[in-house]
Amino acid sequence: MFFISKTDQQNKKQQHKIAERQQEDEIRKTLQKNASLQVPGYQTAFGSSRYWYDPLFLCSSVAVLLCVAVSSEALGMTDLLERVSQISDNLHSLSTSLSNDLNTHFHPIGKIMMRPSMCHTSSLQTPTDKDQALRVPESELLSLVRSLLLAWSDPLAVLLTEAPNLVHPEKSLIYSKTKELQEHSNTLGAGLEHLVHKMGHSSQDISSVPFNNDLGNDKNSRLTNFHFLLSCFRRDSHKIDSFLKVLRCRAAKLRPEMC
């Protein structure tokens, strides 16, 4: 028979405690990093201030993403839809804030008038208003949300790579917010995966969209195309947010006029 010595047991307990403290430190660092973001969720305190945090929204690093799975598994359908709706709302707000930052010191002549048909996601057929969205089956609406989000995986990586090299006085701030945008998009994607499994839909039921990552050769062209690409993302993030709110409304069994 194999026996474990008391010393080995104590060492294992000590290692377990160290691992727990490391995980707590990771979560604490993430909370501190996002201390300026006030969203519904768990409450925590820093000094004399109190903030609300959504665990799905905050789990951006690989280590802390584990709490997305834990939180999602423990939530019911309505609560999970509430959480992903909160994340999508913050994603759209962040894209709007980033657009405003980019618009400062941006010469009007350099702007491209944003036409939906010019965005790379224009090939995706989406509802144009709430009434149309309410008539789309839930599975199709969720697939549209996931297809839209997936279509921005590569473009967001391009924006993040380009941000530090922009000919813009606020390029450091723009880079920081672009990085947050990518992190929040990944977090939303993780939440949607759990939502798909809860709803019993196929995780492969999404459409792929081609993307040309050429922003131009000169710095002014690259800044102009960066601005245009971000405008497209802001538009699509609003669609994602709107469709998720429709799904949340249906899960809560609210009347259409209340959605």
Question: At the topology level of CATH, where does 75-258 sit?
Answer: Growth Hormone; Chain: A; (1.20.1250)
Q: What is the pLDDT of residue 84?
A: 95
Q: What is the pLDDT of residue 158?
A: 96
Q: Which DSSP string do the residues of 56-74 spell out, in sequence order? A: HHH--STTTTHHHHHHHHH
For residues 52 and 36, the answer to whether their CB atoms sit within 8 Å is no
Q: What is the pLDDT of residue 5?
A: 52
For residues 120 and 212, the answer to whether their CB atoms sit within 8 Å is yes
Q: What is the pLDDT of residue 121?
A: 96
Q: What is the pLDDT of residue 40?
A: 36
Q: What is the pLDDT of residue 254?
A: 83
Q: What is the pLDDT of residue 259?
A: 76
For residues 164 and 171, the answer to whether their CB atoms sit within 8 Å is yes
Query: Which ranges in the chain are annotated with CATH 1.20.1250.10?
Result: 75-258
Q: What is the pLDDT of residue 14?
A: 60
Task: Find all residues with CB under 8 Å of 245, minimum gap 6, and list them.
Answer: 85, 259
Those residues of the chain that have pLDDT short of 50 are 1-4, 12, 16, 23-24, 27-28, 30-70, 72, 109-110
